[in-house]
Structure 1
Amino acid sequence: MSSLVSNALKRSLGPVRALLFFAVVAIAGLPPAPAQAQSYAFSSVQVEGNQRIETGTILTYLGFGRGETISAGELNAAIQRIRETGLFETVSATPRGNTLVITVDEYPTISRINFEGNSRLSDEDLAPIVRSQPRRVYSPAQAEADTAAIVQAYADQGRINATVTPRIIARSDNRVDLVFEVFEGGLTEVERISFVGNRNYSDRRLRRVLETKQAGLLRALVQRDTFIADRIGFDQQVLTDFYRSRGYVDFEVLNVDVSLTRGRDAYLITFNVQEGQQFRVGDVQVTSDLTEADPLDFESALRLRSGVVYSPTLIERDIARLERLAIQKGLNFVRVDPRISRNDRDLTLDVDFALVRGDRIFVERIDIEGNTTTLDRVVRSQFDVVEGDPFNPRQIRQSAERIRALGFFGNVDVNAREGSSPDQVVIDVDVDEAPTGSLSFGGNYSTDTGFSLLASYNQRNLLGRGQALAFDLQWNADAQNVGFDFLEPRLLGRDLRFGLGIDYRQTDNQGETLYDTRTAGFRPSLSFPVSENGRLQVYYEFDYADLYNIDPSSSALIQADEGAVGTNSLGYGYSFDTRRSGLNPNAGVLFRFGQQFGFGDSNFIKTSAEITAQTLALNEEVTLRATLEGGALQYSDGQSRITDRYFLGSNIMRGFQPGGIGPRDTGTEEALGGNYYAVARLEAEFPLGLPEEYGITGGVFLDHGSLWDIGRATGGSVEYNDYTPRTIAGVSIFWTTPIGPLRFNFTEPLDVQPNDRTKSFDLTISTEF
């Protein structure tokens, strides 16, 4: 009896349970299913609510056909696939007998995209970052992703407090405007950069190596440095290169700690480093695994010597020299394998340059992409190899560096991949063009010439040919200059530079002298390398000089030079520079020597020479410089005019006004210039103990030299016509500012002549805006 009652209750409650089940399913938006059934078969599917999306497109996401039996789970999965398309705000399904009714509510279409509140990044900068597009369906998920991308773009600019809010504005026909409201915030600077584990070099010295700079109290007023996360990896690499180029082969950056200050308005960066010991070069030799390559023939090409501080750069340079020598000897596929033996007891590294057989791989072709302006031949000219030559990875790396050094491209990627066969490679060069022209207007101030206005146009890649064109105009109260320069860096496809310079200068020096001048010059030239660090230039020059408007009270020697004279000359100049390629990364030498030979109406020889040595001392905290400079003007026919002679200003010998040193008319006290001069300059630059971020350093200097001989019989009317040395000492303050580097010189004459015109202070500033 009890079982019968139980079964009766179940039968009576069955319809109620079924109704409750369908009600719950409808509320949840799931397809209803009979309480006792687990499968469906629909003869038709009806879609409601779609306006832009075709019904057929929606049906393709179902995954089942008409009359096909499916389970409730499969039906749920089909509806979920429609939701995941991102085209609909809501999706629901309702079985109506043998018909499945799918109801959708479409997302609106984006009419347009706007940015508001942005100034540091323009609309053109932000538009490529956003992936939402007009005339596409609006997606909240994509709008959030676009918001995050914009915030990251500002963070990369050092504005980590920037916020972006996406908003939609409803329009007719189910369209919306998508607006990104931007609050840019302020720059987040690097407040402090510190180092842990550095014993041999101070924090101050290491900060100068890094690309990232720190900002301080004073620097916040004149120059702001922001934090960019991508720079940290680069800073680690340049820090490693700095140490290893100085023999610290075990140097390692253990970690970099980057944290925000409590106010979240600045970063604190700490580099944790491990220096290790400094190694020097031990024994150096060349060995050969090849019968055709005699080591004795290659040893003379080495520049590395025992006892110098070990540097990977020096090894690379000698490897390049040996490989070039092998090619010159007709030995292809010779690879130089540097074998380093470590001697921890005496902290030396023995270097064995082993000549081994390289893989027989050839260059199939060189593909260049991305150069929309620069011609292919400009890029190809930086390669030492052409199609069909043996492949040398080192040469390719060096070529990539030369392409980057052109300054024509913002990014340069050079990679090698396998060609049509295993023994062929294809070199891919991908570049991004960068701006190479500039039009600028600016100002220049000097205590010698006062304030000058400047205008210039410069193009470093004229018409994509790699040529340089410059036009400069300078004007002040006493002088006007116009200059034009053109440079073809690879004439006839070789490392042969052709230059053309044209200039015009007019002076109105009534305040300083009693005459005016007009000068013009025309100078074509050719220059080419003669050694690894040496270069030779040859040129022709035509000079026009007109001396006019001479005051009657001026010196008779000056009045005798009145008039215009044209001069033809041929000349050469030799330069030798090891400041970036010598054995010592902290020292270098620059040597220049040149002669100019006049012919025609005036026969003369003008000789100039300069040698400068620079080194870093006291753990590279102090920079020492020494310069010896001189010139001689000798006439075999005729005599020099005042427009031909040397005049020493503060750019050559500090502490004197223009024309303040040298031969002078005893009656009028006018400066006459000289045919000879010689100057020695000694200088030291060092920190002043101020925070490095201020950009202020100090210096001391000593200048000793003379200007003499006007080259004609004077009869006692000229004083200081013989070699009469002067000595000037002084202190300097160097200040790096956004408007340019400033140098303040305070001088004290130690040995000068009574009629010399000295000055105790000199300031030089140059900028463009």
Structure 2
Amino acid sequence: MAYREDAGISCGAVGPENKILWRLLTVFFLVSALWLAVLSQSAWAQTYTFNSFDVEGNRRIETSTIINRTGITPGQTVTAGQLNDAYQRLLDSGVFETVELIPRGSTLAIKVQEYPTINRISIEGNRRVKDDVLLDAISSQPRRVFTPQVAEADADVIAEIYSAQGRVSATVIPRIIRRSDNRVDLVFEVAEGTTIEIERVSFVGNRAYSDRRLRRVLETKQANILRTFLRGDTFIADRIEFDKQVLRDFYLSRGYIDFRVNSANVEFTRERDAFYLVMNITEGQKFAFGKVTTVSEIPGVDPAPYQAALRIKPGVTYSPTLIENSITRQERLGLKNGVDFLRVEPRVTRNNRDLTLDVEFVLTKGPRIFVERIDIEGNTTTLDRVIRRQFDTVEGDPFNPREIRQSAERIRALGFFAVADVDTREGSSPSQVIVDVDVEEQPTGSLSLGGSYSVSDGFGIAIGLEERNFLGRGQALGVTLSTAQDSEQYILNFTEPYLLGRKLRFDLGLGLSSTNSSFASYDTKTAFFNPQLSYAIGELSSLKLRYNWSDSEMTQQDGETNGAVIASEIAQGKRSTSSLGLSYVYDSRIGGLNPNAGALFEVGVDAAGLGGDNKYLKTSARAIAQTKVLNEEMTLRASFEAGALHWQGDDFSRTVDRYVLGPNIFRGFEPAGLGPRDLSNGQDDAIGGNLYWVARFESDFPLGLPEELGLRGGVFYDVGNLWDIDNVDTTGANIVGADGSLRHVIGVSLLWDTPFGPLRFNFSKALVKEDFDKEQNFDFTIQARF
């Protein structure tokens, strides 16, 4: 049978010649593979014996150190694999840029090139962050060995610093410049990029509260119309986690126990020049307290007084903070009653039908563990006692984890430390605990510049210098210099929060002030000295004991003619006042049961006559109540204040001693624009009064405008009176308004919350007033710190 032989090998039928060819090829490949395997094994199994070493290229590293690092000893027989391991050990030491091992008979030649030493480090291209900040953050240092891995890690650290400031596009490239003697200059080239703002912050899943209300909770802010000048809306990734926590705290404090943040997505805008932040949340249902009871599992301990110590009532919106405060109150009562190691365990029962939570406080005995000692580390300036006095627990006291956690929060709240960690560990025995406090101090001094404007005082500038941890003693010392168009003040303030090591706050103020008001025909100069002691007598109440000394003088303005009353008061010259005062303050605006409502009540009395020229009794009262309605979109506020001056001296009182009302107390009138006046000598002088009361009612609310404008509206209604001029020298005077009458004022406000400070525009109209009153239909104030 004939067939055609193709140029290649046929995959079909195979003839006898091809069979022989295939067998020969197979044998050839098998023999070749076997021969290569033998050669490879022979090469791998090759051994070396080195009796000496020849090290080249090392300048800083000792020759003996390099030989020891190889792990090969003279006379030792090593394989090629062990020689490769020696090479890897030298390279992994991190001090050599290149390594080469060359066997030369019985000598092993080791050629190395050491990493260079850093001569200097410089940073180029940085304008927003100072060199000192960046150099302190990196690990590379001059006169240390340069390694690429460390330089790359330092570049990442610098980039993270920029990212934390919102410059997520910043790039950092490390480069080296070779110098003599195996030295290099390390240069970090920084391209800062631009800050990337938050264009919009929005929420998905919120029903109870609007996006606008929730945005006020977050630390992250969205862009506003002043973005060109201020970057408070810069995107910072680490802030997102913090925002999740504060959002959770916000909802939990309002009874939404099932609240959770499902996701927080950050996306670039289409132009990739800003971010959108979208937070997907689940609110759940709002719960209130149901039955609140206390039971005791400790023999001989009656739960009744512990139940009476609770301030939680059924129907109050549930809040974990109220639970914590109640536990603290009961544990302190137990300590007072001599019940050591008392632990209060809250057992919560959920009632989905009526959306209430029954809470049973169970009094139990905790383990018998004592505080062995409190160790404090990291404080170089702050004295130990400043930190230690934040603990209600001392060495030898029963250990209470809750009190330790609260003490840690108080330490952080001081604001003296960038980091404040409080941990516990077992002491010298299982029944002893050591409390470790590790802090990292931060600057506590500040210099502030402020600006203000009001229709009453004109433009003003304030310069303040404050140290909140003076000499590391936890004291505050501040100096304020403020000057406005019509007034000047120079004040020195000092605060000792723990006088004599007790929870007794001491405040001291002394200074000079002067006025040159365009609303009066006289000027004033006053020097004052005001020490005060404050002591908490309850969770929300305190007592204040104060002393006041002042020396004041009224002087005639140049070119002005005074009425009879003011002229007689100027003629009295300098007069001093020495008074002692006492005030009671109750404030539930922060620590009350309702996070949306609170009240302040203050009443005080000051008696002058302990030396000095003036003798009087002055009483005052103030009350403020505030609440938020319509899902916290609208704020309602009502306030009342009153004062009474009972002059007891044989001489006459002066206008600076009596009450004079300004727009900050009664809107709609000029400073000293209402109340008794002296019209003698063709003048129109406000002379104040001995009695006054004012009630103010106001509300602010959103206007429905774009939120980034920061504008809100408001309405207000003020009513009050200023009267009585007993003990006033009325010789030759023409007095009007001595008996007083009620004034009524209504108005609207425009509130603008800007990064420069809050601006308020008041437009008012007096519904009822006297003909001699000085009305002021517009008032504008701005106060800012920068």
TM-score in terms of structure 2 length: 0.91
- 1:648-699 per-residue CA deviation (whole Å, 9 max, x = no partner) reads 1111111221111111113322111111111111111112223333332222
Secondary structure of 2:783's partner?
strand
* 1:666 paired residue among 675, 679, 701: 679
Counterpart in the other structure of 2:738: 721
Counterpart in the other structure of 1:640: 653
Q: Aligned partner of 2:615: which letter?
A: N
- Aligned-partner Cα distance in 2 for 1:260–1:61: 52
* 1:516 paired residue among 523, 537, 549: 523
- Aligned-partner Cα distance in 1 for 2:737–2:207: 54
Secondary structure of 2:83's partner?
helix
Counterpart in the other structure of 2:596: 586
Counterpart in the other structure of 2:206: 198
- Aligned-partner Cα distance in 1 for 2:230–2:154: 35
2:627 counterpart of 1:611: no
* 1:537 paired residue among 538, 544, 548: 544
2:539 counterpart of 1:553: no
In the TM superposition, residue 320 of structure 1 has moved relative to its aligned partner by 0.8
- Aligned-partner Cα distance in 1 for 2:705–2:685: 44
* 1:66 paired residue among 70, 74, 77: 74
Secondary structure of 1:50's partner?
coil
- Aligned-partner Cα distance in 2 for 1:114–1:269: 37
Further displaced range: 62-71 or 390-399: 62-71
For the aligned residue pairs, the C-alpha RMSD in angstroms reads 2.3
Secondary structure of 1:73's partner?
helix
Question: Between the two proteins, what is the percent identity of the paired residues?
Answer: 55
Further displaced range: 190-199 or 211-220: 211-220
Name the CA shift for 1:480/1:156 in 2 (closer, same or farther; >3 Å): closer
Matches for 1:317-396 after TM superposition, within 5 Å: 317-396=325-404
- Aligned-partner Cα distance in 1 for 2:449–2:197: 30
In the TM superposition, residue 113 of structure 1 has moved relative to its aligned partner by 0.9
Q: Aligned partner of 1:634: which letter?
A: H
In the TM superposition, residue 196 of structure 1 has moved relative to its aligned partner by 1.2
Q: Answer whether contact 1:604 1:635 (CA < 8 A) is retained.
A: yes
- Aligned-partner Cα distance in 2 for 1:604–1:36: 108
Matches for 1:286-685 after TM superposition, within 5 Å: 286-509=294-517, 511-549=518-556, 553-561=561-569, 562-563=571-572, 564-599=574-609, 601-638=613-650, 639-667=652-680, 668-685=683-700
In the TM superposition, residue 249 of structure 1 has moved relative to its aligned partner by 0.8
Q: Answer whether contact 2:458 2:486 (CA < 8 A) is retained.
A: no
Further displaced range: 468-477 or 373-382: 468-477
Aligned length: 744
In the TM superposition, residue 93 of structure 1 has moved relative to its aligned partner by 2.2
Q: Answer whether contact 1:223 1:738 (CA < 8 A) is retained.
A: no
- 1:231-262 per-residue CA deviation (whole Å, 9 max, x = no partner) reads 11111111111111111111111222122233
Q: Answer whether contact 1:570 1:597 (CA < 8 A) is retained.
A: yes
- Aligned-partner Cα distance in 2 for 1:694–1:380: 46
Further displaced range: 611-620 or 712-721: 712-721
- 1:120-161 per-residue CA deviation (whole Å, 9 max, x = no partner) reads 221111113322222223222222222222112211221111
- Aligned-partner Cα distance in 2 for 1:552–1:706: 29
Counterpart in the other structure of 1:24: none
Counterpart in the other structure of 1:733: 750
Secondary structure of 2:242's partner?
helix
* 2:116 paired residue among 98, 108, 128: 108
Secondary structure of 1:61's partner?
helix
- Aligned-partner Cα distance in 2 for 1:62–1:356: 65
Name the CA shift for 1:474/1:552 in 2 (closer, same or farther; >3 Å): closer
Q: Answer whether contact 1:33 1:72 (CA < 8 A) is retained.
A: no
Q: Aligned partner of 1:513: which letter?
A: A
Secondary structure of 1:394's partner?
helix
Q: Aligned partner of 2:598: which letter?
A: G
Q: Answer whether contact 1:223 1:737 (CA < 8 A) is retained.
A: no
Name the CA shift for 1:36/1:669 in 2 (closer, same or farther; >3 Å): closer
- 1:216-240 per-residue CA deviation (whole Å, 9 max, x = no partner) reads 4444444432122221111111111
Q: Aligned partner of 1:666: which letter?
A: L
Matches for 1:156-171 after TM superposition, within 5 Å: 156-171=164-179
Counterpart in the other structure of 2:779: 762
- Aligned-partner Cα distance in 2 for 1:502–1:534: 26
- Aligned-partner Cα distance in 2 for 1:159–1:309: 42
Q: Aligned partner of 1:616: which letter?
A: K
Counterpart in the other structure of 1:51: 59
- Aligned-partner Cα distance in 1 for 2:420–2:702: 37
In the TM superposition, residue 641 of structure 1 has moved relative to its aligned partner by 1.3
Secondary structure of 1:701's partner?
strand
Counterpart in the other structure of 1:29: none
Further displaced range: 695-704 or 543-552: 543-552
- Aligned-partner Cα distance in 2 for 1:281–1:37: 81
In the TM superposition, residue 520 of structure 1 has moved relative to its aligned partner by 2.2
In the TM superposition, residue 500 of structure 1 has moved relative to its aligned partner by 2.2
Q: Answer whether contact 2:486 2:516 (CA < 8 A) is retained.
A: yes
Name the CA shift for 1:471/1:108 in 2 (closer, same or farther; >3 Å): closer
Secondary structure of 2:70's partner?
coil
- 1:276-307 per-residue CA deviation (whole Å, 9 max, x = no partner) reads 11111111111000122101122211100001
- 1:523-543 per-residue CA deviation (whole Å, 9 max, x = no partner) reads 222221122111111122223
- 1:348-374 per-residue CA deviation (whole Å, 9 max, x = no partner) reads 111111110111111111111122111
Further displaced range: 713-722 or 323-332: 713-722
Q: Answer whether contact 2:44 2:81 (CA < 8 A) is retained.
A: no
Q: Answer whether contact 1:219 1:694 (CA < 8 A) is retained.
A: no
Q: Answer whether contact 2:676 2:740 (CA < 8 A) is retained.
A: no
In the TM superposition, residue 593 of structure 1 has moved relative to its aligned partner by 0.8
